[in-house]
């Protein structure tokens, strides 16, 4: 018993991997399943029925209840939010953590037992097919820890754009050029600039949806300076053919004439048309709101530039066409896509005189 108590940390939290090592005297192999699932007594019951852990093969060794303390609480609303099962014949531990909005299932098992591993994979597949979420587009965010650069997956909404409806006519040719570039393993630079609310970010989301197998890496503003770090190039060696996305890039791609020391522009030049470009095949997408005239001219050289486009308000004809689709009143002025989709809130609709009586 004293050995089992070592499976709890100083805060009284149960540590399943430590428990596995204490119980079986081997290191565990791990498979984790996580999904969003609102916890109710019904979902807990359905989960246990789905997994169908036979009492002849598994022993329930731990339950952690979540109950209410007020006198009006009902016993049928009391729910278990943590289960731990151990194998009777096999070296396996299954920990189920069902928080208010999230379900985590952890399988710990002996990798030397191939039959057991097959069972774990089949059970994970059964759970995934029954309660797993629909696949959504994913991009990666650059992070940095004590071990250097890393990435974190972030899910985003799936967007399929009607380019004709949401962008001016001259953008179609640019979008086709960008599409062709995604079909090739070649480095290059894409500059998307113009007024706020004109659809730059939405277009990038549509690319993430359309090219779901591509590796989009979002560079947050606080990490842009890290592009100068030699470790960043080492990190990119493991991310060949990636698409780097730098939003609000005004501060890093403006002219180097008035800057002292190294510039991020130099790194972008190397990635898109330098020594490493043919090997890394990195594409860089930069968005900004400033004028193209302020951008370092070296970035605009033929050969490294895939495409550049200035986003603007929709033409008056397209503005009113989209307003009609959204069942809004006509406008007398050109509007951005953001203003059109928030037409009433932006108070662009003509104020109608208040009717008196009926």
Q: 256: pLDDT confidence band, cut at 50, 70 and 90?
A: low
What domain range is 329 assigned to? 313-352
Question: In 3D, which of 169, 162, 178, 154 has the Cα closest to residue 283?
Answer: 178
| Whether 86 and 215 share a structural domain | no
Which phi and psi (to 5°) does residue 284 adopt? -125, 125
Final residue in a domain of this structure, among 77, 112, 131: 131
Residue 103 lies in a domain: yes
Residue 335 vs residue 227, higher pLDDT? 335
Contact 309, 199 (CB under 8 A): no
Residue 24 lies in a domain: yes
Which phi and psi (to 5°) does residue 159 adopt? -130, 125
Residue 88 lies in a domain: yes
- What does the pLDDT read at residue 263? 73
Residue 358 lies in a domain: no
| Whether 189 and 290 share a structural domain | yes
| Whether 85 and 169 share a structural domain | no
- What does the pLDDT read at residue 148? 82
| Whether 184 and 291 share a structural domain | yes
| Whether 211 and 269 share a structural domain | yes
Strand 148-155 versus strand 243-246 pairing type: unpaired
Strand 305-311 versus strand 188-194 pairing type: parallel
| Whether 282 and 197 share a structural domain | yes
Could you report the per-residue pLDDT of 9-43, keeping only the tens digit for each? 777 778 899 999 999 999 999 999 988 888 888 88
pLDDT at residue 352 greater than cutoff 60: no
Q: Classify each residue of 27-63 as buried b or exposed e, where b means 16 or more C-beta atoms within 10 Å of its C-beta.
A: ebbeeebeeebebeeeebeebeeebebeeeebeeeee
Output the six-digit token pair for 255. 């002219």
- Mean pLDDT of the chain, nearest integer: 86
- What does the pLDDT read at residue 181? 94
Half-sphere exposure (Cβ direction) of 297: Cα atoms closer than 13 Å: 2
| Whether 144 and 284 share a structural domain | yes
Residue 44 lies in a domain: yes
Mean pLDDT of 208-235: 86
Final residue in a domain of this structure, among 311, 326, 344: 311
| Whether 151 and 293 share a structural domain | yes
Could you report the per-residue pLDDT of 276-298, keeping only the tens digit for each? 777 888 999 999 988 888 888 88
Any idea what the Cα angle at residue 172 is, between residues 298 and 168, rounded to 5°?
95
Residue 146 lies in a domain: yes
Question: In 3D, which of 101, 106, 121, 84 has the Cα closest to residue 35?
Answer: 101
Q: 347: pLDDT confidence band, cut at 50, 70 and 90?
A: low
Residue 226 vs residue 311, higher pLDDT? 311
Strand 92-98 versus strand 138-145 pairing type: unpaired
Residue 168 lies in a domain: yes
| Whether 222 and 98 share a structural domain | no
Residue 48 lies in a domain: yes
Say how many domains are in the chain: 3
Could you report the per-residue pLDDT of 241-251, keeping only the tens digit for each? 999 999 988 87
| Whether 259 and 345 share a structural domain | no
Q: Which residues pair with 305 in a beta bridge?
A: 189
| Whether 213 and 330 share a structural domain | no
Q: What is the 3-state secondary structure (H, E, C) of 270-331?
A: HHHHCCCHHHHCCEEEEEECCCHHHECHHHHCCCCEEEEEEECCCCHHHHHHHHHHCCCCCC
d(CA 291, CA 295): 7
Mean pLDDT of 209-233: 86
Choice among 95-109, 258-272, 323-337 with the minimum mean pLDDT? 258-272
| Whether 163 and 271 share a structural domain | yes
Q: What is the CATH number of the domain that holds 212?
A: 3.40.50.300
């Amino acid at each position: 018993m004293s050995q089992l108590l070592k499976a709890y940390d100083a805060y009284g939290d149960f540590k399943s991997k430590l428990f596995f090592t204490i119980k079986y005297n081997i290191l565990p192999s791990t498979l984790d399943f996580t999904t969003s699932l609102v916890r109710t007594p019904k979902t807990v019951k359905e989960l246990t029925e789905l997994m169908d852990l036979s009492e002849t093969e598994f022993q329930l060794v731990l339950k952690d209840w979540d109950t209410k303390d007020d006198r009006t609480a009902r016993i049928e609303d009391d729910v278990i939010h943590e289960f731990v099962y151990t194998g009777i014949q096999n070296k396996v531990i299954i920990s189920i953590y069902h928080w208010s909005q999230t379900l985590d299932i952890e399988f710990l098992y002996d990798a030397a037992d191939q039959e057991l591993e097959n069972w774990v994979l089949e059970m994970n597949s059964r759970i995934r097919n029954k309660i797993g979420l629909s696949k959504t587009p994913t991009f990666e965010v650059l992070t940095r820890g004590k071990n250097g650069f890393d990435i974190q997956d972030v899910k985003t909404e799936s967007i399929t754009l009607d380019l004709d409806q949401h962008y001016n006519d001259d953008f179609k040719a640019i979008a086709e050029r960008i599409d062709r570039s995604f079909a090739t393993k070649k480095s290059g630079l894409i500059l998307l600039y113009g007024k706020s609310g004109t659809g730059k970010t939405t277009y990038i989301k549509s690319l993430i949806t359309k090219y779901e197998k591509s590796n989009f890496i979002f560079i947050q503003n606080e990490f842009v300076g890290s592009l100068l770090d030699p470790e960043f190039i080492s990190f990119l060696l493991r991310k060949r053919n990636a698409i780097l996305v730098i939003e609000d890039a005004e501060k890093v791609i403006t002219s180097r004439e008035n800057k002292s020391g190294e510039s991020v522009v130099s790194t972008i030049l190397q990635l898109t048309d330098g020594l490493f470009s043919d090997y890394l095949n990195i594409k860089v997408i930069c968005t900004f709101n400033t004028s193209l005239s302020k951008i370092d001219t070296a970035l605009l050289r033929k050969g490294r530039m895939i495409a550049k486009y200035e986003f603007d308000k929709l033409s008056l004809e397209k503005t009113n066409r989209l307003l009609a689709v959204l069942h809004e009143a006509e406008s007398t002025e050109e509007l951005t896509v953001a203003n059109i989709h928030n037409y009433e809130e932006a108070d662009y609709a003509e104020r109608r005189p208040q009717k008196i009586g009926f």
